[in-house]
Amino acid sequence: MTEPGQPIKIFNARTEWLRGEGLSCDVVLSSRVRLARNLAGLPFVAQATRTDRRHILDLCRARLVGAGLAKQLMWLNLHDAPPIDRAVLAERHLISKQLARGVLPGRDAAPDEPRGVAISIPDERLSVMVNEEDHLRLQTIRTGLDLRGCFEQIDAADDSIEAGLDYAFHPRFGYLTACPTNVGTGARFSVMLHLPALRMTGEIDKVKNAAEDMSLAIRGSHGEGSQNTGDIFQISNQTTLGKSEDVLLAEMQDEIVPRVVEYERRARTMLLERRRTILEDKIHRALGVLRGARLMTVDEAMTLLSQVRLGVVLGLIEDLPQQTVNHLLLIVQPAHLQRIANKEMPQGARRIARADLIRERLGPGTNETPRNGQ
């Protein structure tokens, strides 16, 4: 457990989902499974009083810390954590933006709302949010296309937690959740995909339409309403009621995602074969600008890094490990940037710090692992 005021220990070189390895890792950045659970006999978070929520938090924390979920588990009281740490966790997808800010459904942000998160360290594969929309939101995240691995881990964690807590469960509907779309298995499967070629060829819209027809959501990397900066898209199932977890999982892991991966690969091959020089031009200009710039916005950084990532995957850029680019896609974000600099910075200073960090990491011929593994 981390005491209030201590810096969070999430900066390490072993964050699993950033490794840029695993099945279809040329296209799939990471896989995630999420479960929504609520305690029996207690009101949902939005309906609960603050006293209730404090009680829920105490119950959940005690159980999470005692359930043997991981070799090492970090617990963080988010109402005690500095805003920058909370924002860092959200940028790492370990907590939601809502939980970071202390937003309950339909209310304004209240940073002192009693809430917390348990994170397995150093791999950051498992995280459990307490007092988000549901009492418990479990999440597992892994590099590449590995929803099955994610599910096995989350299923085991779920069982361990349930062994000491009474979940709200209805014999007909399944697990009860605050939002009806999560009722049932309460499971959401999602993958983070890098689809630059489909975007360049304009076929991304076809993929989006096809996904909607299958009741899937395609969104930006930070979920609902977020932009798809850097050509990174998240595909997830929209409903959890009516289909078993096994069916949902198999559909996503074995059919839908492989099909999108295939589309993206075909588009990349087409670009390589028919527009190679234009593609190389775009990719190497992107790298040139990243290596030269002294000022950079987060959006420009994501866009250029996305093009560079494509270049690395296609072998058009050598001596640059994919992991370095994956890392940069994460740490160019505002909270990480400030955390690395160890100070708060206004936007202008962040633009300078971001360009400096990128140059440092992308220096010509960089092929070592990032120095402090962020």
Radius of gyration of the chain, Cα coordinates, nearest whole angstrom? 21
Using CB under 8 A as the binding rule, whether residue 294 contacts its own copies is answered as yes
Of positions 50, 107, 206, 285, contacts its own copies by CB under 8 A: 285
Using CB under 8 A as the binding rule, whether residue 54 contacts its own copies is answered as no
Q: Cis omega before residue 122 (within 30°)?
A: yes
Contacts of residue 172, Cβ cutoff 8 Å, sequence gap at least 6:
none
Q: What would the x/- binding string for its own copies be over residues 354 to 373, using CB under 8 A? A: -x--------x---------
The sheet with strand 232-237 has its strands ordered as: 73-77, 116-120, 126-130, 136-143, 28-37, 187-194, 232-237, 216-219
CA 24, CA 33: separation in Å to the nearest integer?
A: 17
Is 333 in contact with 91 (CB distance < 8 Å)?
yes
Nearest alpha-carbon partner for 15 in 118, 121, 123: 123
Of positions 289, 298, 340, 341, contacts its own copies by CB under 8 A: 289
Of positions 117, 157, 197, 290, contacts its own copies by CB under 8 A: 290
Contacts of residue 309, Cβ cutoff 8 Å, sequence gap at least 6:
194, 196, 322, 325, 326, 329
Q: Taking the complex as a whole, how short is the minimal distance between the CB of residue 341 and its own copies, in angstroms? A: 16
Binding span for its own copies by CB under 8 A among 39-47, 124-132, 250-258, 289-297:
289-297
How many residues lie near its own copies (CB under 8 A)? 19
Closest to its own copies by CB, 70 vs 349, is 349
Q: What would the x/- binding string for its own copies be over residues 239 to 278, using CB under 8 A? A: --------------------------------------xx
Binding span for its own copies by CB under 8 A among 168-176, 178-186, 280-288, 338-346:
280-288
Of positions 288, 344, 360, 369, contacts its own copies by CB under 8 A: 288
Of positions 121, 248, 286, 302, contacts its own copies by CB under 8 A: 286
Closest to its own copies by CB, 201 vs 297, is 297
Of positions 280, 303, 340, 341, contacts its own copies by CB under 8 A: 280
Using CB under 8 A as the binding rule, whether residue 291 contacts its own copies is answered as yes
CA 362, CA 368: separation in Å to the nearest integer?
A: 10
Using CB under 8 A as the binding rule, whether residue 302 contacts its own copies is answered as no
Contacts of residue 371, Cβ cutoff 8 Å, sequence gap at least 6:
none
Tokens matching residue 33 = 């499974």
Beta-bridge mates of residue 139: 34, 127
Residues that bind its own copies (CB under 8 A): 277-278, 280-281, 284-295, 352, 355, 364
